[in-house]
Structure 1
Amino acid sequence: MADKNEWGSNLSFILAMIGSAVGLGNIWRYPYVLYSNGGGAFYIPYIVAILLMGIPFLILEYGVGYNFKSSFAKAIKKIHHKWEYLGWFLPVAVFMIMIYYSAILGWDGIYIILSFFKGWGADPNTYFTATLLQSSDSYLGILHFIPLIAVFMLVGWVIIWFISHRDLEAGLGKVSKLLVPLLFIIMVVIVGFSLTLPGASIGLAELFHPDWSLLTHFEIWMAAFGQIVFSLSLGMSIAFTYASYTKDDADLVTNTLAIALANSAFENFAALGVFSILGYMSMQSGTAVSELVTQGTGLVFIVYPTVFNVLGQWAYVLGPLFFLTVYLAGLTSILSTIEPLSFSIQNKFTLSRKKTMTILCIVGALISMVYATSFGGSVLGFVDTFINQIALLFGVIVECIVFAWIFEAEKLIDFMNSRTKTIKLGKWWLIIVKYILPIVISIVWVGGMIDVINNGSMDQLNSTIVTAALLLIATLIFTVLPAKNKDWDKAEERI
């Protein structure tokens, strides 16, 4: 029986895209970005970034993806036969994200169990860094294997394989219909409870206190556009791939608005819960909220357990719910990161979806074991910085130019307008995707590069070189391997 890479319904497509967008970054990155960039004042550049970049770029990706109804690599080769390398660059980079995401998923799986009895002890910081991760600053730490983390990571890989190796609708489509609504429901419960905590108003006052003076700073605008790139998975070839699976009657413009709205609502709602809890913690400990705020793993695995330690009996309900939410958010995102590379491999080498997903999950699981070592936490930070701030943004810039200029975005307007019930595309959209977006994303990319250069250590530089080499070599291998699909050089256009 042939693989069926098509959504069973428009709802499956929307929920899968929301699941891809709603991830760990919404829970542990956005509240910090909002707080540290002017609080309430940040909403001005944030909304501008959504309207100017998030929605227009997603429409472009969806339109081109729907047009080719093929993998990202095949479409790029069709647009320009000499650019197949770019067609593999982004899917491979996104797969590298998946590999280190599996480590965070593994850590969180451990914390789901720990949360039932506060197994992190009286000092969550020491437990996370010293007991669980057994962190080492030396490269030799890579030789020290941590079986507990490895086991929970492998459990995550088995779950990913179990869902992704099935036909699209039977696996990812069905799971998205279950997990995404469940994710929102659990977050409503957590935030609802958090808002009732004593001191919640302290945290919310800190969060939304606007610092209007920051609007004149370049950094706050760069932070807003950077957040939208990461939050909506722009240019990661995921939106393109998901759109290529859509049915013929999909209203892609309206879908874009629904996905952008749902993602924005979730991350702002999550911020209410995060800062309500930080306000409670501030009142209990006498520590200023500003000293408690952090982003990344510190917020999830250190600050939250510290709160649960002083929360009393409610912690045994709220703790498991919170870590389950993080796990579901990570899972819905990680499932999307395997799709672009998988579909490209299926297209070029005529492998079945089941075989492709099985191979990728095995390879990914084996490589991910580097994160189950004492130096794994450091490596994860280095790889995350390189992939997100350097590799992906560069790919996004090139993708924007290829789609808007080489493919000619004008071709999409009449088609997209003929089936949308909301926004009609016109010259305003072309100006954004052809001129404004490449410039804005380039500025964000340069800013990210400067940040890495100024703040990066020698270890980070070395890790960046190794990661870049692996990315470029893997991309080259997929590009030069001979295609087994006789139609690899052909791609039907629908528009």
Structure 2
Amino acid sequence: MTQQAHWDSSLAFIFAMIGAAVGLGNIWRFSYVLYSNGGGSFFIPYFVAIAIMGIPFLILEYGVGFSFKESFSKIMQKIKPQFEVIAWILVLFVFIVVIYYMVILSWDLIYLLSSFTFNWGTDTAAYFVNTVGGSSNLSNASFLLIPTTIGVFLLWVVLWFISHRDVDKGIGKVSKILIPALFVIMAIIIGYSLTLPGANVGIDTLLTPDWSMLLNVNIWLAAFAQIIFSLSMGQAIALTYASYLPENSKLTDNVLIVVASNSGFEICTAFGVFSILGYMSVTAGTPMVQLVTEGTGLVFVVFPMIFNVMGPIGRILAPLLFLAILFAGITSALGFLEPMLSSTSDKLGWSRKKTATVLSVIGCAFSLLLTTGISSYLVGIIDTFVNEFGILLLIGVQCIIFAWFYGLEHLLPALNENSTFKVGTIWMFIIRYLLPAVLIIMWVAGIIQLFSTAKAFEIMIDLIIIIAVIVFAFILSKAKPAGDS
């Protein structure tokens, strides 16, 4: 049996949880979701989603992890032995997330280095395709994008170096440094961007409400999806981190701190992003609608284009932005790796160091497969499928298992004993009935959209993932401890 890891304080846990939650999605996804789903009116479904999904489910995860003080696979096995395979399916899906996440971080690392010389040139889209992320042309799968390949290898070494240490000396210490640094950097970027000429144009474009869209069910689904991805809900990260907490921890208070920090970060970042887009629109005469995009297009194509025309200040803002993304990404990647690390170490009786080493080698090998000339295309396929099919379904399954097979009333003493904010009947109703219903609707809607638009190659990748996850989940659930070495 491996020794149970622990945080030296609730502060280390809070910073690690904020680190896991605040990631790439907060920086490049939220502003686009807000803009394209009714602007200012989107805040209504957004805060409703936080209240009835984000906070209640995180409280559930904290309560389960803290009460059991075990890895996710061991917890599920204790509730009912047959449930262990479900735990392995989830942690394998989350491990796949870290595999492609490291590729995106490698793109960012290349842009961080490029930001000192602006060697992405004037055609920023061509630079991304040819040097960093590739395209959807399958014939390009025959060669590697060497800068991305090198970046992936280096970042996996960094991830291994942090994660193979005790949680407090590794993740805890790094999170205490990177999260305050991230918040300071983003405060500088946002503060300056708000002073740019045209910032008000960007913010007006972002916030102009379209109240009629509140009657559209897709806006509400978008809000719930944003909260799931933004808070890394249901991915066994919060549950695993909470299992390392010391006694007398204020669980629900910690949930509110993490949720408030996460939402505050992504809302403020959206103001910064749209201030910069507004500046570009006014100075270059480009309509806002042509500039607004999400994900890699925004960060790796539009932003470098804007930095090009900014003059000397662009030389400062560019490295700061890509450094902020790197910090946010590393702390999130540590969170994505932890459920697999904790469950594997617990199951096989391996030391944390050995488990982290084996998983880092395996993870790095698969990440390298995603650095070919179709890198961004592959990452997009896997990201959509893992989140919309795998993780969304398994969040609903967790709600049902913890509410109906384990019993939420068993968690109330631990949740309420030291917390200022107490939970009870309303919280149990949400977890038992409301959340599973919302999640099933979201999952069905996502699956219909996923497979109605998917090409044959994309469906093939999806099927490979499903088969691999199920096979390895059954193998791991049947594995016997091998003794520490």
Normalising by structure 1, we get a TM-score of 0.96
Tell me how far 1:345 sits from its aligned partner.
0.9
Separation in 1 of the partners of 2:57 and 2:132? 40
- Per-residue CA distance 1:362-419 (angstroms, 9 max, x = gap): 1100111111101222111110011010000111110111111111001122332221
The secondary structure found in structure 2 opposite 1:451 is helix
- What code does the residue aligned with 1:115 have? S
Tell me how far 1:482 sits from its aligned partner.
2.3
Q: CA contact under 8 A between 1:62 and 1:240: conserved in structure 2?
A: yes
Q: CA contact under 8 A between 1:4 and 1:168: conserved in structure 2?
A: no
How many pairs does the alignment contain? 483
Q: Equivalent residue for 1:342?
A: 341
Tell me how far 1:359 sits from its aligned partner.
0.7
The match for 1:439 among 397, 418, 437 is 437
1:257-268 correspondence to structure 2 within 5 Å: 257-268=256-267
Q: Equivalent residue for 1:460?
A: 458
Q: CA contact under 8 A between 1:3 and 1:353: conserved in structure 2?
A: no
Q: Equivalent residue for 1:395?
A: 394
Tell me how far 1:123 sits from its aligned partner.
0.8
Separation in 1 of the partners of 2:305 and 2:462? 33
Separation in 1 of the partners of 2:403 and 2:17? 22
Tell me how far 1:443 sits from its aligned partner.
1.1
1:140-155 correspondence to structure 2 within 5 Å: 140-155=139-154
Separation in 2 of the partners of 1:160 and 1:414? 36
- Per-residue CA distance 1:144-188 (angstroms, 9 max, x = gap): 122221111111111101111111111110001000011000000
Q: Equivalent residue for 1:490?
A: none
Separation in 2 of the partners of 1:4 and 1:279? 50
Q: Equivalent residue for 1:49?
A: 49
Cα distance, 1:100–1:389 mapped onto 2, change above 3 Å: same
1:267-286 correspondence to structure 2 within 5 Å: 267-286=266-285
Q: CA contact under 8 A between 1:348 and 1:485: conserved in structure 2?
A: no
Question: Moved runs in structure 1, 4+ residues, more than 6 A?
Answer: none
Separation in 2 of the partners of 1:455 and 1:43? 29
Q: CA contact under 8 A between 2:131 and 2:145: conserved in structure 1?
A: no
Q: Gaps (5+ residues) in structure 2?
A: none
- What code does the residue aligned with 2:88 have? W
- Per-residue CA distance 1:72-96 (angstroms, 9 max, x = gap): 0000000011111011111111010
Tell me how far 1:454 sits from its aligned partner.
2.4
Cα distance, 1:343–1:131 mapped onto 2, change above 3 Å: closer
The secondary structure found in structure 2 opposite 1:373 is coil
Cα distance, 1:195–1:364 mapped onto 2, change above 3 Å: same
Separation in 2 of the partners of 1:242 and 1:10? 11
1:297-312 correspondence to structure 2 within 5 Å: 297-312=296-311
Separation in 2 of the partners of 1:133 and 1:47? 34
Q: Gaps (5+ residues) in structure 1?
A: 487-495
Match status 1:10 vs 2:10? yes
Separation in 2 of the partners of 1:476 and 1:414? 34
- Per-residue CA distance 1:118-150 (angstroms, 9 max, x = gap): 110011011111343343521x43321222211
Query: What CA RMSD, in Å, does the superposition of the two structures yield over aligned residues?
Result: 1.3
Tell me how far 1:458 sits from its aligned partner.
2.1
Separation in 1 of the partners of 2:221 and 2:6? 36
Q: Equivalent residue for 1:239?
A: 238
The secondary structure found in structure 2 opposite 1:372 is coil
- What code does the residue aligned with 2:61 have? E
Separation in 1 of the partners of 2:469 and 2:202? 41
Tell me how far 1:441 sits from its aligned partner.
1.0
Q: Equivalent residue for 1:160?
A: 159
Tell me how far 1:4 sits from its aligned partner.
5.7
Q: Equivalent residue for 1:210?
A: 209
Q: Equivalent residue for 1:85?
A: 85
Separation in 2 of the partners of 1:355 and 1:173? 19
Normalising by structure 2, we get a TM-score of 0.98
Q: Equivalent residue for 1:331?
A: 330
Separation in 1 of the partners of 2:4 and 2:73? 19
User: Identity, % of aligned pairs?
Assistant: 46
Cα distance, 1:106–1:126 mapped onto 2, change above 3 Å: same
- What code does the residue aligned with 1:472 have? I
Q: CA contact under 8 A between 2:67 and 2:414: conserved in structure 1?
A: no
Match status 1:20 vs 2:20? yes
Separation in 1 of the partners of 2:339 and 2:132? 33
The secondary structure found in structure 2 opposite 1:338 is helix
Q: Equivalent residue for 1:491?
A: none
Q: CA contact under 8 A between 1:4 and 1:167: conserved in structure 2?
A: no
Q: Equivalent residue for 2:448?
A: 450
Match status 1:425 vs 2:446? no
- Per-residue CA distance 1:172-222 (angstroms, 9 max, x = gap): 100010000110000000000111111010000000000000000000000
The secondary structure found in structure 1 opposite 2:407 is coil
Separation in 1 of the partners of 2:460 and 2:178? 39
- What code does the residue aligned with 1:446 have? V
Separation in 1 of the partners of 2:328 and 2:83? 34
Q: Equivalent residue for 2:197?
A: 198
Q: CA contact under 8 A between 2:350 and 2:482: conserved in structure 1?
A: no
Separation in 1 of the partners of 2:409 and 2:33? 35
